[in-house]
Each structure stands twice: as C-alpha cells, then as structure tokens.
Amino acid sequence: MRLLICADPYVDMIMADGITLLCNDLQVDPQDIVMLVVSWHMKAATMCEFSKQEFIGGLQSLGVDSLEKFRERIQFMRSELKDEQKFREIYNFAFGWAKEKGQKSLALDTAIGMWQLLFAERQWPLVDHWCQFLQARHNKAISRDTWSQLLEFARTVDPTLANYDAEGAWPYLIDEFVEYLVENGIVQKSS
C-alpha cells in the first residue's frame, strides 16, 4: 500500500479569506489602514497572510485574548498612526509587507495604493501628483530607497517646494518629480 503525504505549507496560516472573516468579526473594512497597523503589530511578513506564530505573537503584544479586547484595541492602533515615530515604523514596514515574495522592489500599482492609504492619514498634499507622475513617467517598480526617501521628502519639504534643495541628496525620481511639478505649473519655481 502506498501512502501519499501531502504537506500543506499553509496549514498554520490565516490567508486572505480568514483575514476577511477576522475583519468582519472586528467590524473593520479589510481595506482600512488599521489592518496595516494590525499586520505591523503581528510582524507579518506578507500582505493578506498571518502565520500562526505571527498572529499569536501579535495578539500577545497587544494584550488581546478575546474578540472584544481586539475590537477595543482598534482605536488605540488607529491612534498610533498619529505618532510620528510609529508612523515612520509602519510606513517602512509597509514596503516589505506589500512587496511580492522574492522581489526586491515594490510593484508600482501596489506602491501607489500603499501611498494613497498611508498619506491619506498624513495628509501630504502632493500624493496624488506623485502617483500621477509615476504612472506617466516612471511605470517601474519602486526601490526601497525611493520608498523611504519619499517619506522624508513629504515630511521635510514644503508642498510649495519653498525649502526644496536641488543640490540635496534626493533620489533621481524625487528630483524628476520636482521638475514635473514645476513643468506642469503645479508649483511655482521659487527664485
């Protein structure tokens, strides 16, 4: 008699369907940014999946041992986005979490979706122009360097570009974005 052993690599995983059920139980939209914060607390390696270890570890770090307590922690996790340091950690976490397994860069459409989600929270007035610029001029995957430098740019450079230093050490893509803003009359070049 032949015994077939089928080892399912996802046996100890909560996948997209399970996360949707969790969101329903938590009364949270799966697209809500708080689910990114939940994933950050779980130290999830990949979007739309939690390993058993990630899920249990995340619940323990949050002090959650019931669905009721989990629901109660949602507001706390939402408030963490307002903390500058935690937002930076969540933002940097999002790059690795959202990229495809085995890839070094983040697919452009995924990066754009993540920026729209994250910067809706941070109210960076140039986010839509940035996304339009990328779709029109770049159309390539986003490197980790560009990802992390964009947060610094959004945080430190005035939306009018009044304090933008053309000699600064920004990635070429950000320099090209500034040129795009000026060329298209979105911002006036300061003298």
CATH number at residue 110: 1.10.238.200
**Which of the listed residues 82, 110, 136 is the one where a domain comes to its end?**
82
- Digit-coded pLDDT (tens) for 34-87: 999 999 999 999 999 999 999 999 999 999 999 999 999 999 999 999 999 999
Sign of CA dihedral 96, 140, 143, 167: negative
Task: Tell me the residue length of the chain.
Answer: 191
Assigned token pair, 143: 């490197």
Predicted structure pTM score: 0.89
Neighbouring-strand partners of residue 50: 14
Neighbouring-strand partners of residue 51: 13
- Digit-coded pLDDT (tens) for 156-181: 999 999 999 988 889 999 999 999 99
CA 31 to chain centre: 12
Please identify which residue in the block is written with the tokens 């015994």.
3
**Which of the listed residues 82, 112, 143 is the one where a domain comes to its end?**
82
Q: Which residues contact 151 (CB under 8 A, 6 or more apart)?
A: 88, 91, 92
**Which of the listed residues 37, 56, 82 is the one where a domain comes to its end?**
82
